[in-house]
Chains A and B, each alone.
Chain A
Amino acid sequence: MKRLIIGSWRWLDDRLGISALIGPSLKHLVPHDARWWYVFGSATLVAFIVQVVTGVALAFSYASSSSQAYETLQFITNEAPFGRFLRGMHYFGASAMVLMVGAHMAQTFLFGSYKYPREMNWTTGVLLLAFTIVMGFTGQLLRWDQTAAWSVVVAAEQAGRVPFIGDFLAQFILGGTTIGGATLSRFFAIHVFIMPALIFLFIGIHLMLVLRHGIAEPPVAGMVVEPATYRAEYEERMHKTGRPFYPEGAWRDFVFGTGVLVVIALLSYFVGPPKLDAPPDPSVLNADPRPDWYLLWAFALLALIPPEVEGYVMILTPVIIGIVLLAAPILNNRGERAPSRRPWSIAVVLLSVILIGSLWIAGANSPWSPNFDPQPLPEKIVGATSGPVFTGAKLFRDKGCLNCHLIHGYGGRRGPDLTYIGDQLAESDIVIRIVNGGVNMPAFGNSLKPDELAQITAFLQSRKRPIRPQDQPPMAQN
Chain B
Amino acid sequence: MTRRRFLEKLCIGLSGVCAAILGIPLVGFVVAPIFRKTTGKWISVGNITDYEVGKTVSVAITDPSSLPWAGITAKSALWLRRVNDVDFIAFSVNCTHLGCPVRWLQDADLFMCPCHGGVYYSDGTVAAGPPPKPLIRYDVRTANGQVQIKTMAIPITTTL
Contact = CB atoms under 8 A, between A and B. Distances in A.
Contacts of B97: 157
B156 A179 contact: no
Contacts of A259: none
B68 interface: yes
Contacts, number: 205
Given A157-B98, A283-B75, A368-B129, A178 B39 contact: yes
A154 B66 contact: no
Interface stretch (A74-82, A209-217, A237-245, A285-293): A285-293
B5 interface: no
B106 to A, nearest CB: 9
B69 interface: yes
Given A172-B34, A302-B116, A180 B127 contact: no
A318 B118 CA distance: 24
B73 A180 contact: yes
A314 B129 CA distance: 16
B159 A285 contact: no
A250 B108 CA distance: 64
A168 interface: yes
Q: What does DSSP make chain B's interface, helix, strand, loop or mixed?
A: loop
B121 to A, nearest CB: 7
A399 interface: yes
B74 interface: yes
B60 interface: yes
Q: What does DSSP make chain A's interface, helix, strand, loop or mixed?
A: loop
B126 to A, nearest CB: 9
Nearest to A397: B107
Interface stretch (A37-45, A47-55, A227-235, A440-448): A440-448
A368 B31 CA distance: 37
Nearest to B153: A177
A157, A172, A286, A399 — which one has the most chain B CB atoms within 10 A of its CB? A157
Contacts of B154: 153, 156, 170, 174, 177-179
B7 interface: no
8 contacts: A150-B101, A157-B99, A157-B156, A172-B34, A180-B66, A281-B72, A283-B61, A285-B101
Interface of B: 30-31, 33-34, 36, 38-39, 58, 60-61, 63, 66-77, 93-94, 97-103, 105, 107-110, 112, 114-117, 119, 121-122, 127-132, 152-154, 156-160
